[in-house]
Structure 1
């Protein structure tokens, strides 16, 4: 079993040709990962990436908040929000991922950024499997598939383009073509995540319409939502304390 589990990571690092007699499921997976969708444009991907890198802290925080609103069922039910240590670890992991995908080269099949995206996809699969076992059929019937295809599709607008939307509210000049480029840039990330092609919007307008529809049918908050929401404020409060302590120390030493 351990040998089988190591096949995807080896193929990710070295290419599927490095795996002789790979199972059909692995071949299909890497056929998808190695292929760029027909709508992909390197220039547009890079343009969208640069636009999203140059958003404000406020824009980034709104995207982070949306991330946890959408994934509350999956991340909340893991129990990682029961103490400060695990709360910080989870938020740092998320921040690391968002930082990684902001770097150049994300569309390069063998770049560290691309491989980071795929590793998160593998992690999502593991979480889905574990949550289905932990929840059982009754809870699953209520909350449905954790980190589903539609949940990840929501991320195109919620985690990515949301940052530009937030900045525009505060006066940043953002054009429709900017928003379209950001949508397609995150659309490629969604493609690598395994989102079905017909769920990936290729224009900002389509992304917003999809976002509105999916979120409106997302259901009511789960029993895990309050702890996930509280964790955002815990991190914010602790960050303020850290800044204040550093400021006080520098003033004292000065």
Structure 2
């Protein structure tokens, strides 16, 4: 019923339940200050972020998943990241791949539908965690996967990577920051965040980002296990690619460069915690120079006439970097389970199984 309404419209359902009516009433009525034009321009900006900016985004949000107490506790308790890394990663890549593509966030666009599916998965996980932890825990700590927590994802996934890019030397217009925030604010609306919790401007987004990281809880009991899974995921991806004759050397250099990036953007404390090494290697110390160099190259592209037409054209098939991840995890999933594909149904369970996390 949910998928039918998502694919064909609520009007195709005979006597839909009130919960489904309420869901689609919310989806169909975004805040009036979110416009289709600004969402679309924000999508172009999102797809124009440099490789270093996107890598920084991955670092920042892996940090939240792995090292924060609240998100890490929820992810670790559900157990899917540890137990079903490949299909979970494929769904993540599927979600990111289509976001910037033209029309993908329209009512029947694939990115829109994927975001609603993720919204449902969050709701299912929220119910399971409440049953698992109990109402006394909720009264003391708050609802898991709350609107407040989710709203922090808008700037964390959105303007933060542009801010990293700017720090590396990339130039953006102020309008780019504002429109990227609108792009992610609309995604936040689709995923169920209340309007009062959604940042309307770049300034509000920065305040929300700053506050969210200032009050982030210490790592959960699952942090080491989740960190190991993240490293395993990187190694699994690397193993899918073979470089004739110099495979080991190339992969070692990539690892060292990534570790250098972690130290550069996360500082010594986080660099040590995430990489398990005391400091970056000589190769790793080259990361800052490589990052600033590619930011300057991106600035040159911006000066050439027709700049906006080029990134608009590049997003035709979605996010370029997510496409690489999507292809790799699709192949891994095919090897593992015959290629089921991203289904977003892992948390579909009968009522009697709620409370049994897994």
Q: Could you state the TM-score of these two structures normalised by the residue count of structure 2?
A: 0.62
SS at match of 1:164: helix
> Unaligned regions of 5+ residues in structure 2, if any?
66-70, 248-358
Alignment of 1:221-240 (within 5 A): 221-240=219-238
Q: 1-side partners of 2:53 and 2:77: how far apart?
A: 27
> Are residues 22 and 88 of structure 1, via their aligned partners in 2, closer, same or farther at CA, if it must alter by over 3 Å?
closer
Once the two structures are overlaid, the 10-residue window that deviates more, 167-176 or 197-206, is: 167-176
**Alpha-carbon shift at residue 212 of structure 1 (Å):** 1.7
User: Which is greater in Rg?
Assistant: 2
Q: CA RMSD in A?
A: 2.2
After superposition, where does 1:50-65 map in structure 2 within 5 Å? 50-65=44-59
> 2:110 and 2:238 mapped to 1: Cα distance?
32
CA deviations over 1:62-95 (Å, ceiling 9, x no partner): 3233334153222221123435xx2233223212
Cα distance in structure 2, aligned partners of 1:131 and 1:66: 24
In the alignment, which residue of structure 1 is the partner of 2:74? 74
Query: Within the alignment, does 1:90 sit opposite 2:88 as a pair?
Result: yes
Contact 1:11 1:19 in 2 (8 A): yes
Task: Give 1:141 shift.
Answer: 5.1
Query: CA deviation digits over 1:215-241, x for unaligned, max 9?
Result: 323322211223223332222333344
1:247 corresponds, among 224, 240, 243, to 243
Post-superposition Cα deviations, 1:165-208, rounded to whole Å, max 9, x if no partner, equal: 22222211022211111000100000111101011111111111
Matching residue within 20, 27, 32 for 1:33: 27
1:187-226 to 2 correspondences below 5 Å: 187-226=185-224
Is the 1:97–1:116 contact (alpha carbons within 8 Å) kept by the matching residues of 2?
Answer: yes
Could you tell me which runs of 5 or more consecutive residues in structure 1 were left unpaired when the two chains were aligned: 1-5
Kept in 2: contact 1:81–1:227 (CA 8 A): no
Give, in whole Å, the separation in 1 of the partners of 2:141 and 2:80. Answer: 18
- The count of corresponding residues between Structure 1 and Structure 2 is 241
Aligned equivalents of 2:59 and 2:143: distance in 1?
21
Aligned ranges 1:85-124 → 2 under 5 Å: 86-124=84-122
Does the aligned pair in 1 maintain the 2:76–2:82 contact within 8 Å? no
TM-score by length of 1: 0.85
CA 207–134 in structure 1, closer or farther in 2 if over 3 Å, else same? same
